[in-house]
Chain A
Amino acid sequence: MSKVRVLVGTHKGAFILTSDGKRQQWDVQGPLFAGWELYHLKGSPADPDRLYASQTSGWFGQVIQRSDDGGKTWETPGGGLEKTPDGMPRGESNKFVYEGEVGTHQWYDGTQHPWEFKRVWYLEPSLTDPDIVYAGVEDAALFRSTDGGVTWQEFPSLRSAKGNLWQPGAGGMCLHTVLQDPDDSNRLFVAISAAGAFRTDDSGATWKPVNRGLKTEYELPDPNTEVGHCVHNIAMHPSRPDVLFMQKHWDVMRSDDAGESWHEISGDLPSDFGFPIAVHAHEPDTIYVVPIKSDSEHYPPDGKLRVYRSRTGGNEWQALTKGLPQKDCYVNVLRSAMAIDSLEPCGVYFGTTGGQVYASADSGDSWTPIVRDLPAVFSVEVQTIP
């Protein structure tokens, strides 16, 4: 029987939640890396026992962790006493160094500010090779490891895509989303706050902004600018990689041409501000968002925690409330804190800043909390294991 493994990153450690395919009874493992911020954990699609985790701290910086047994044991890749031929330690797993001229980006006040590495926000293991993994970092850049996280190399040309105009959002200037095109291994999409979405069609050698149709009124001098938009999250269905869905700072957007142009699909949502967006495992036009009241009031409208589902690819939305608190709820759901499993019917999971992780085993029709009292949840990923 299939099982699911939910990987939860929190403000004070990581947790692994496992269940069989019914998704009713859960085993909770953790905290792992107790006391550290776990921005993201994700499993390799090519080897579900290979997991990567971003462990970070304001005191001690960035640590990359890797598991080869589904999270039972972890190591810092290259962190042992393995030596290079010249006798130096190999361990560079935590070393993220920008390539070439570091350059500057826009600061909050509009002045230029040098790029400074702070942490890894997002880890995206390759669809086909467990040793290849991408890392989206703050200050925004994309790195890749081809040796299981032992060493990391930047794609510097991404920062050439008008990087001097990028600026930090409230959470910092982070590259927080990486999408791989399953039909074209040369194509990647990334999203950056506050810069926008970018695409490469040549395995990262060159990048272009793909933000036409995004509009940011009041916060940017030119609301239709090519870069500078605060994109919170993007998602695709693997069967239709040219169709992208986006939760922007404000506005839910859709592209049908791999990001070349976007149009708004916020429709009848109670608020089009939010962070995560996700696509149903088996229905490419069914999407999920969690509306948040505003950019200053990071909680659900009216104190009601509601996931909204559209079965029409946007514009018409249905509130999913069964099992979710419908009064006095003032938590947030962060951009990487929603995930979908691939069982039938598909499961939907999300975590809150109040420490709850909710699961739906029926595509969102009803919800139950797996755990209620974790530290603030930063990220939720799920693996469906045969």
Chain B
Amino acid sequence: MIRVVLPTPLRRLADVGREIEIQVEGQLTVSTVLDALEARYPMLRGTIRDHVTKQRRPFIRFFACGEDLSHDPPDTPLPDPVVRGAEPLLIVGAIAGG
């Protein structure tokens, strides 16, 4: 199981807590985690990446293990601690609020 932390507005939208666990089939990448996340929580479609192009929304970032994964190709394998469930994948709203 992959651990994913959502930003607060998306937790409210999906009616989940701070951290959720997602079952992901096959290789573990940002792209496959988002596929699984959107399948489990369809209301999140379009809120993290574009419906069609799958491009990350400009004010969304992906962090894990103290690293910024936002600009890696979305099919890059996730760090091993995320794969093992030791660390979460953080989906973060950019600091642009004030």
Residues of B within 8 A of A34 (CB): 12
B45 touches A91 (CB 8 A): yes
* Cβ of B71 under 8 Å from chain A: no
Indicate whether A89 sits within 8 Å of B39 (C-beta atoms), given known contacts A58-B59, A95-B45: yes
Interface membership of chain B positions 35-74, coded 1 if the CB is closer than 8 angstroms to chain A and 0 otherwise: 0001111110111100110000101100000000000000
User: Are A61 and B42 within 8 A (Cβ)?
Assistant: no
CA distance A76 to B52 in the complex (A): 19
- Decide yes or no whether B10 CB sits under 8 A from chain A: yes
**Is B16 on the interface with A (CB-CB < 8 A)?**
no
Say yes or no for B79: interface residue by CB 8 A criterion. no
B63 to chain A, nearest CB (A): 15
Least Cβ–Cβ distance between A149 and chain B, in angstroms? 12
B42 close to A95 (CB less than 8 A)? no
Does A21 have its Cβ within 8 Å of any Cβ on chain B?
Answer: no
Total contacting residues, chain B, CB less than 8 A: 23
A131 at the interface (CB under 8 A from B): no
* Residue contact B59 to A76, C-beta cutoff 8 Å: no
Contact partner of B9 (CB less than 8 A), chosen from A36, A78, A93, A97, is A36
Bound complex: CA A35 to CA B10 (Å): 11
Within 8 Å CB of B41, what residues of A?
Answer: 79
For chain A, the count of residues having a C-beta within 8 Å of the partner chain is: 24
Complex: chain A residue closest to B92, CB-CB: A59
The answer to whether B52 touches A89, judged by C-beta atoms less than 8 angstroms apart, is no
Q: Provided the pairs A36-B9, A60-B10, A60-B47 are in contact, do residues A91 and B59 lie with their beta carbons within 8 angstroms?
A: no
- Residues of A contacting B: mostly: loop
Whether the pair B46, A94 counts as a contact (CB closer than 8 A) is yes
Q: CB-nearest residue of chain A relative to B59?
A: A59
Q: How far is the CA of A35 from the CA of B9 in the complex (A)?
A: 8
Q: Report yes or no: A91 in contact with B9, Cβ–Cβ below 8 A.
A: no
A62 within 8 A of B: yes
Give the residues in chain B near A78, CB-CB below 8 Å. Answer: 42
B45–A59 contact, CB under 8 A? no
In the complex, given contacts A60-B13, A61-B46, A88-B39, what are 11 additional A-B residue pairs having Cβ atoms less than 8 angstroms apart?
A59-B57, A59-B60, A59-B93, A60-B9, A60-B10, A60-B93, A76-B43, A89-B38, A89-B39, A90-B42, A92-B42
Would you list the 4 A-B pairs with minimal beta carbon distance, nearest first?
A91-B42, A79-B43, A76-B43, A60-B47
28 example contacts (A-B, Cβ-Cβ < 8 A) are as follows: A34-B12, A36-B9, A58-B96, A59-B7, A59-B9, A59-B57, A59-B59, A60-B10, A60-B13, A60-B48, A60-B57, A60-B59, A61-B47, A61-B57, A62-B46, A63-B13, A63-B43, A79-B43, A80-B42, A89-B38, A92-B45, A92-B51, A93-B43, A94-B46, A94-B47, A95-B45, A95-B46, A97-B52
